[in-house]
Amino acid sequence: MRVTQPKAAFVMRGQFEAMSEALRQTIRDLLREELHKIRKETAESDNSPERVTEEAVAINTDQDLARFVRRVLAISRDTGGRAAVESGRHVFRLEMRGSTSEHGYHNASPAAAGSAVIQIDKGVITEKQAMNIPEEVGIVRISKGVQLTPLANDVIRRTGKKIERLKQ
């Protein structure tokens, strides 16, 4: 016994496949436009002088030193991060115990979790990059041209870090 499908089923499947292909083409076009914009913005920002990412580090105890070493190892896993450290585009500044921060707040215990600040001056912050921000970082400063994906934003906020957008 041979089972046949009605003609209407073939017509519906054909319309669905055509609609699906049209939707795929629309998505491809949108992605192409967005990638072109990102490439153009990246090319424009590459013409500007290289920006330096500065990370404040407080080393007052053995635990602080161990945290710093883990941070350096985490950065060096990524070839871009390693190149930034080697070229001086990512620098570490020693934060002294009891120093006054740039906002005028007195930080009596910079070695405490959440005391470090990381600043990102260029590019796009993805979820994966946000997950690699060390736990001792309490503030993530983001320059004006940096894009933050919604998932990265969620990861940063979920870990209790504060996001500061710079207006420069």
Q: How far apart are CA 126 and CA 160, in angstroms?
A: 17
25 φ, ψ to 5°?
-65, -40
Residue 103 has pLDDT above 50, yes or no: no
Structural domain spans, the chain: 1-48, 49-165
26: Cα within 13 Å, side-chain hemisphere: 6
Q: Give me the chain's average pLDDT, please.
A: 75
Supply the pLDDT for residue 16.
62
- In this predicted structure, the answer to whether residue 46 has a pLDDT above a threshold of 70 is no
pLDDT in tens, 112-143: 445 688 888 888 888 888 888 888 888 888 88
| Residue-level pLDDT at 150 | 92
This prediction's pTM: 0.39
Q: What confidence score (pLDDT) does residue 100 get?
A: 37
DSSP secondary structure of 73-90: HHHHHSHHHHHHHHHTSE
In this predicted structure, what is the pLDDT of residue 117? 85
Q: How confident is the model at residue 4 (pLDDT cuts 50, 70, 90)?
A: low
**Pairwise CA distance, residues 118 & 28, whole Å:** 35
Residue 145's alpha-carbon distances to 26, 45, 142, 163, in angstroms, are 27, 8, 8, 15
DSSP string, 105-161: -B-S-TTSTT-EEEEE-SSEE-HHHHHTS-TTEEEEEE-TT-EE-HHHHHHHHHTT-
